[in-house]
Amino acid sequence: MNIATTAHGKSSKGGWNAAIFIILVEVAQQFAFYGLASNLIMYLTNVLDQPLAAAAKNVTTWLGVSSVFPVLGAFLADSYFGRFKTIVFSVAIYFLGTVLLTLSVSVIPSQRRRAVFFVALYILSVAQGGQQPCLQTFAADQFDENTPEEIKAKSSFFNWWYLGFVFAATSATLGVVYLQDNVGWGLGFGILAGVLLVSLVSFLLGTKRYRKQRPPGSPFTTVAQVLVAAARKWHVTETLNCENVYYGDEKGEGQLQGQSQPVVLARTNQLRCLDKAMIIDELDASTEPRNPWRLCSLNQVEEVKLVLRLIPLWLSCLMFGVIQVQHNTFFTKQSSTTILSIGPHFKVPPASLQGLSGIAILITIPIYDRVFVPIARKYTGHPSGITVLQRIGTGLVLSILVMVVSALVEAKRLNIAKDYNLIDKPKAIVPMRVWWLLPQYLILGLAYAFATVGLQELFYHQMPEQMRSMGAAALYCFKKPKTKKKKFNPKPKKKPTELKTIKIKFDNTTIISF
């Protein structure tokens, strides 16, 4: 393998010089996604005149589909195309989807606008399936796991990666949403297309800097082979020793360009029922070549163990995904019923309040990476200051605190609504300042900074190298769960709500329902 090297013998590929190009693509992709998702329900209800129930169903269905496609994209990237080609193809499709989206809200005739808009929307879902699981994994691949300096750089990388993610989401939520509401939807979506085009060009400019991985084949085949081989040898009673264990013939297939050698896993004592898959019995010893559905290598068995051990962790974090979705649904709907005016001429768009969590993350992550980690490292001796599981646990505790605070604020809002006889008027503005919601947004930002970054790092390091895109896809599956339709029911059967104009004086401000 020919690898370009510097004068000191170190590979010129990879590292921060390569990762920065990939981070720019992630920033652009998240800018485009949040520039659309944050305000999508407002476009469906205000421009396409959809009922609130139908609009909410369409938004959550689109988010759900967008969360499933990364699994398919990760499988194709890990098995056939490789991460680099998958990213190029998906970014190009994403750009074309945003162009079609822009045309649908500007030049497409009104009678065809709805159909074209939804076609463009689901083109973005398909493209997102290729980007989401591959971008972070491909960027992390640029750091050599066999070099101590790059191991520390990789740990820091996950912090700065998420910082770029949040910067993009916050910028879109504050800037693009305002343009959509106050200038025009065509300009708002057009900006998203322009940013994606710039990111695609910059990504291609860094092509010669990347460490690339040849797809090793379907990762599910390895899992199936180990399970089948272990099942076929359930009757084997031999104990494991150096002589009867199959170690395989590791030749570096699927190895990263610039990496010195593939990772060799040590044998563990967990899930020992799978160890029978690597025992060489009499039949295996007399068979040449080996049957991969009867005899698997030590590395194959340990890789399957890694995957199975992650399942309980993944399940335990599902509720964190439920809390995350409140950010885009309940919190936004909650804020839309409060006083959003700042001064006599400016009114905050409800969706833009999501940027408060982003601001909290933008402040927290640099402090965490540059202040907390060096101090904690002196006491714990851990390269990352604290372990990944400790970081995730801290984020989960903060997420519980978020729901406690939001419940108290909601109780306060309902009491005020009750005092003004607004309980049965869901569109009425409650005489309560929006800043009551500030604590729950800020605490949620802290929870993101700990739990989300920790989960990304955990699933990258603990997944087998050829399945890391699948690990990233698993995270995206629970980040945007569907909400229940019962929360959006503008037509109750027993007591229909009459839409009236209600005027209430509060702090010399006239509050009018709409």
CB crowding 313-344: b at 16 or more within 10 Å, else e: ebeebeebbebbbbbbbebbbbbbbbbbeeee
Residue 152 DSSP SS3: helix
pLDDT band at 484 (very low <50, low <70, confident <90, very high): very low
Per-residue pLDDT tens over the stretch 28-42: 998 999 889 888 888
pLDDT at 257: 42
Tokens of 232: 């076929």
CATH number for the 12-215 domain, one of 1.20.1250.20, 3.20.190.10, 3.40.50.450, 3.10.129.10?
Answer: 1.20.1250.20
Compute the chain's Rg from CA coordinates: 26
| CA quadruple 306, 312, 316, 317: dihedral sign | positive
Is the pLDDT assigned to residue 16 strictly greater than 50?
Answer: yes
Per-residue pLDDT tens over the stretch 277-324: 888 887 877 777 888 888 888 888 888 888 888 888 888 887 887 777
Per-residue pLDDT tens over the stretch 376-402: 888 888 878 888 889 999 999 999 999
Between helix 148-171 and helix 110-140 the angle, nearest 10°, is 160
pLDDT at 1: 33
pLDDT band at 233 (very low <50, low <70, confident <90, very high): confident
Is the pLDDT assigned to residue 252 strictly greater than 90?
Answer: no
Half-sphere CA count of 377, side-chain side, radius 13 A: 11
Instruction: Quote the mean pLDDT of the chain.
Output: 78
Half-sphere CA count of 406, side-chain side, radius 13 A: 21
Which residues does residue 11 pair with via DSSP β-bridges, in sequence order?
5
Phi and psi at 279, nearest 5°, equal: -80, 130
Lowest mean pLDDT among 195-199, 424-428, 498-502: 498-502
pLDDT band at 477 (very low <50, low <70, confident <90, very high): low
pLDDT at 401: 94
Tokens of 85: 């080609």
pLDDT band at 361 (very low <50, low <70, confident <90, very high): confident
Per-residue pLDDT tens over the stretch 400-436: 999 999 899 889 888 888 888 887 776 778 888 888 8
pLDDT band at 9 (very low <50, low <70, confident <90, very high): very low
pLDDT at 243: 67
Segment 97-122 shows an average pLDDT of 89
Please count the other Cβ atoms lying within 10 Å of the Cβ belonging to residue 129: 28
Q: How far apart are CA 324 and CA 329, in angstroms?
A: 9
Give 503 or 190, the one with higher predicted confidence: 190
What percentage of the chain reaches a pLDDT higher than 90? 13
| CA quadruple 379, 380, 383, 385: dihedral sign | negative
Q: Which of 45-49, 186-190, 231-235, 466-470 has the highest mean pLDDT?
A: 186-190
What percentage of the chain reaches a pLDDT higher than 70? 82
DSSP result, 290-320: --TTT---HHHHHHHHHHHHHHHHHHHTHHH
Lowest mean pLDDT among 41-55, 329-343, 405-419: 329-343
The domain spans of the chain are 12-215, 218-247+271-296, 310-482
Kindly state the DSSP code that residue 482 receives in the 8-state scheme. Answer: P
Is the pLDDT assigned to residue 498 strictly greater than 70?
Answer: no
pLDDT at 251: 42
pLDDT at 3: 38
pLDDT at 236: 80
Kindly state the DSSP code that residue 464 receives in the 8-state scheme. Answer: -
Task: Report whether 163 contacts 365 (CB < 8 A).
Answer: yes
